[in-house]
Structure 1
Amino acid sequence: MAEHHLPPERADHHHHHKGGRKGVHADDLKPGSRGRPRYSYYYGGGGGHGAAVRALCFAVLVLLLAAGITLLVLYVVYRPSHPTFAVTSAAVLALYNATASNAAGAGAAPTALAASFQFTLVLGNPSGRCAARYDRLAAYVAYRGEAVTAPTPMPPLAQDAGTTVEAAPVLGAGVAGPPVPVSPDTAAALATDVANAVLPLRVVLLGRVRFVNGPFHRGWHSLYARCDLLLGVRKIGNGGAGGVPQAPILGDPNCNVDM
């Protein structure tokens, strides 16, 4: 019988051509096959830049926190305390009703008082690190909420840390100056209290204060100091000749300082 032979398979189905060209298979055309090109992306320096920014922000935060703690410690250590105020002695130089001296014609004369006192005022600086400077000081005496002396200017005062400073101003001009007008009720109450030998008064000190610590100077603060006290008196003076110069302070004065 005659033999039938199948034609030989082409060599390029399974073998490389001479030029190194590879044949294309069906698997190579499937999605996700090995032959699919792969792409990779690389962002150079991205992670390192973010870490540097975070490190810088952390360093700034630490510095701000340290500065805040330092300022807080300095504030607590060098914070000045309010000055203290006290009245340690008193003298009544003149105190009388001056209404008659103001009479003019037949009309009713306004009620007025002629008063003059001398008080020893003590300012204390409890701060152990800051000196105090006082300026624009003025003092006056009030009775039942009304001033019975005109404000008396006082010279500036300098005070070291942790010390006290004294001043003994004469408040009110007495007969040497114009009388101070008061209400009729105040004049009557004053006469009654003097007759009872106990006179309640308020000594007021106004001005401004600043604190100094070496080269550091704080701003000026308004000062309002006052002492409520009771004076022991026996009679109203008549311009100083028959008055009661010394007046003991009864009990402990109630003194306060506002800034």
Structure 2
Amino acid sequence: MSEKSNRAPRGGRLLILSLLLFLFLAGLTALILYLVYRPSTPRFSVVAAAIYDLSNASSSSSPATALSTSMQFTLVIRNPSRRAAAFYDHLSAYVAYRGQPVTPPEPLPPVFQDPQSTVAVSPVLGGGSVPVSPDAAAGLAADQAYGIVGLRLLVVGRVRYKSGPFRGRWNGVYVRCDVLVGFKKGLAGPVPLLGEPDCDVDV
């Protein structure tokens, strides 16, 4: 009787140890797969800009202050992941000046990227008048007179990664690119980028 009772605890301990070993190995395998296939944060950079219209659109008949805008940016998207492909969807881009949107959001086509690949998009933004505060309109006039205008290009959407046999869930992506351009009133066309535009990416 005592021999059987001693056997039972030993069998139970063996089962528990086997289960713990299995869970440990499963967790270790999952960690290794995550480290091997985990994606890296994409990199965005502005490499060219053109301004076709950036002027005060206010008139004596309208007391509201507005800007007329039309501009184009060439945005390079780099996928630094060695094993993860990236798919971007529901992307849209717009431009802000002094914290205020000066172009309506422009939808961008879906983008697919293989691992360690680069894709360029060149959306044309604006094409109409956008209401802004009087301070923003006055600031633009001063910046144009000085010859340097600071703009912020924003891109929002979502991204999903495919790493080997694994397909991730959709994640929101938010990109902010601060761009200084050489621009004076009356000019139109490509403008020089001053310095290296810095893009922050949140995923």
Q: TM-score, normalised by structure 1?
A: 0.76
- Measured against aligned partners, the alpha-carbon deviations of 1:165-203 in whole angstroms (never above 9, x if no partner) come to 110010111xxx3x1000001000001101111000000
User: Is 1:183–2:133 an aligned residue pair?
Assistant: yes
Contact 2:37-2:164 within 8 A present in 1 as well = no
Code of the residue aligned with 1:225 in structure 2: it is: V
Indicate the structure with greater strand content. Answer: 2
Percent identical pairs in the alignment equals 49
Code of the residue aligned with 1:114 in structure 2: it is: S
Q: Matched residues in 2 for 1:44 and 1:234: separation? A: 96
Q: What is the match of residue 120 of structure 1?
A: 74
Q: What is the match of residue 100 of structure 2?
A: 146
Q: What is the match of residue 146 of structure 2?
A: 196
CA drift of 1:50 comes to 1.2
Q: What is the match of residue 157 of structure 2?
A: 207
Which of the two has higher C-alpha Rg? 1
| Matched residue SS, 2:95 | strand
Q: Matched residues in 1 for 2:171 and 2:76: separation? A: 19
Q: Which one of 219, 227, 245 corresponds to residue 169 of structure 2?
A: 219
Q: Matched residues in 1 for 2:5 and 2:108: separation? A: 72
**Please, which runs of 5 or more residues in structure 1 have no aligned partner?**
1-41, 238-242
| Matched residue SS, 1:250 | coil
| Greater relative contact order structure (CA < 8 Å, 6+ sep) | 2
Measured on the aligned residues, the alpha-carbon RMSD in Å equals 1.2
| Matched residue SS, 1:219 | coil
Q: TM-score, normalised by structure 2?
A: 0.96
CA drift of 1:109 comes to 1.6
Spell out structure 1 runs of 4+ moving beyond 3 A.
none
Q: Matched residues in 2 for 1:50 and 1:161: separation? A: 53
| Matched residue SS, 2:153 | strand
Q: Matched residues in 1 for 2:201 and 2:2: separation? A: 69
**Please, which runs of 5 or more residues in structure 2 have no aligned partner?**
none
CA drift of 1:161 comes to 0.6
| Matched residue SS, 2:191 | coil
